[in-house]
């Protein structure tokens, strides 16, 4: 029986966020703790009357302090490029590659010296905490993808599937070929593309390769994903005993609805969270505990 796209789409959800989705404070604390010594040393520059001299003395004695500087400008990378009328410089905060005077220039021009010497912050640890919380919140999009994977795996386990027995996580096409003897070269462009699926159910000679994602916000990636999965579904239909399954959801699809519908119209196994709740994985695989 042909499903109605609009009825199916109406069941999409605004969020699957759990309590850890918003801020992972444990990760924030871990990031700060690893630099506790360096932060305490850097605190010696707060309210300095001669910050450039005090900075040089500190760095010569404790060069590892420089490792925390990128985080103070909300950067994870330890190599930071900067350009102005003086020229272009690539600063290495893991292994200092410029003279100390150039690092002083960096600290002055980015505003870090001003922050310290004018006592705008009283404790570098508190500043670091705020920055880490901000950086952690920027990682929500990645956590959203992880949440969807966790949700799907919970449904697999609840249905009675067993990891590394009849379902496999983050599995490459080459691994599926090795386990089943299927020729999946058309999906990997004859081995040139290392395609990996989020999950694969391998049961009674049948393979159900699963991709899953959740989009709470829109973006160009959604249209690209819909087109890509449509192409995979068309090729997968030509392979005996191989089935491509796409589990997706989220209100982010609202602006890309028509692209999603194009894929829905040609793809047999495209489902949302409501379908998962109605035991779709057991139904399509004929699996019984």
How far is Cα 36 from Cα 177, in angstroms, rounded to an integer?
48
Residue 181's pLDDT is: 94
Considering only CA atoms, which of 201, 207, 202, 177 is closest in space to residue 190?
A: 177
- Structure confidence by residue, pLDDT tens digits, 238-267: 999 999 999 999 999 999 999 999 999 999
Provide mean pLDDT across the span 139-157: 83
Domain annotation for the chain: domains and CATH numbers: 5-18+139-285 (3.40.1350), 25-138 (no CATH)
> For the chain, what is the radius of gyration of the CA atoms?
26
User: What is the band of 139 on the pLDDT scale with cuts at 50, 70, 90?
Assistant: low
In the predicted model, is pLDDT for residue 289 greater than 80?
no
Phi first, then psi: what are they for 287, rounded to 5°?
-90, 135
Is 0.85 topped by the overall pTM?
Answer: no
In the predicted model, is pLDDT for residue 145 greater than 80?
no
Residue 187's pLDDT is: 93
Please report the sign of the dihedral spanned by the C-alpha atoms of residue 56, residue 58, residue 64, residue 66: negative
**Mean pLDDT over the full length of the chain:** 92
E strand map for 42-160:
79-84, 87-92
């Amino acid at each position: 029986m042909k499903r109605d796209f609009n009825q199916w789409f109406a069941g999409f959800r605004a969020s699957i966020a759990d309590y850890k989705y918003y801020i992972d404070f444990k990760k924030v604390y871990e990031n700060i703790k690893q630099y506790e010594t360096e932060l305490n040393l850097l605190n010696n520059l707060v309210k300095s009357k001669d910050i450039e001299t005090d900075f040089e003395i500190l760095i010569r004695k404790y060069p590892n302090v420089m490792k925390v500087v990128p985080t103070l400008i909300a950067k994870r990378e330890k190599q930071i490029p900067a350009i102005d009328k003086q020229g272009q410089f690539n600063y290495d905060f893991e292994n200092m590659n410029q003279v100390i005077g150039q690092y002083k220039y960096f600290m002055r021009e980015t505003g870090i010296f001003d922050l310290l010497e004018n006592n705008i912050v009283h404790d570098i640890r508190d500043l670091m905490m705020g920055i880490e919380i901000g950086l952690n919140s920027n990682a929500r999009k990645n956590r959203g993808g992880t949440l969807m994977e966790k949700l799907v795996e919970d449904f697999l386990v609840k249905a009675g599937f067993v990891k590394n027995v009849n379902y496999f996580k983050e599995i490459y096409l080459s691994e599926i070929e090795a386990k089943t003897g299927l020729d999946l070269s058309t999906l990997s462009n004859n081995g040139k593309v290392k395609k990996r699926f989020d999950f694969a159910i391998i049961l009674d000679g049948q393979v159900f390769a699963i991709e899953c994602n959740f989009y709470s916000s829109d973006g160009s990636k959604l249209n690209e994903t819909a087109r890509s999965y449509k192409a995979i579904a068309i090729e997968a239909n030509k392979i005996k005993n191989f089935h491509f399954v796409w589990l997706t959801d989220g209100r982010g699809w609202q602006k890309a609805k028509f692209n999603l519908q194009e894929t829905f119209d040609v793809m047999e196994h495209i489902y949302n969270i409501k379908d998962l709740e109605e035991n779709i994985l057991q139904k399509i695989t004929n699996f019984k505990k």
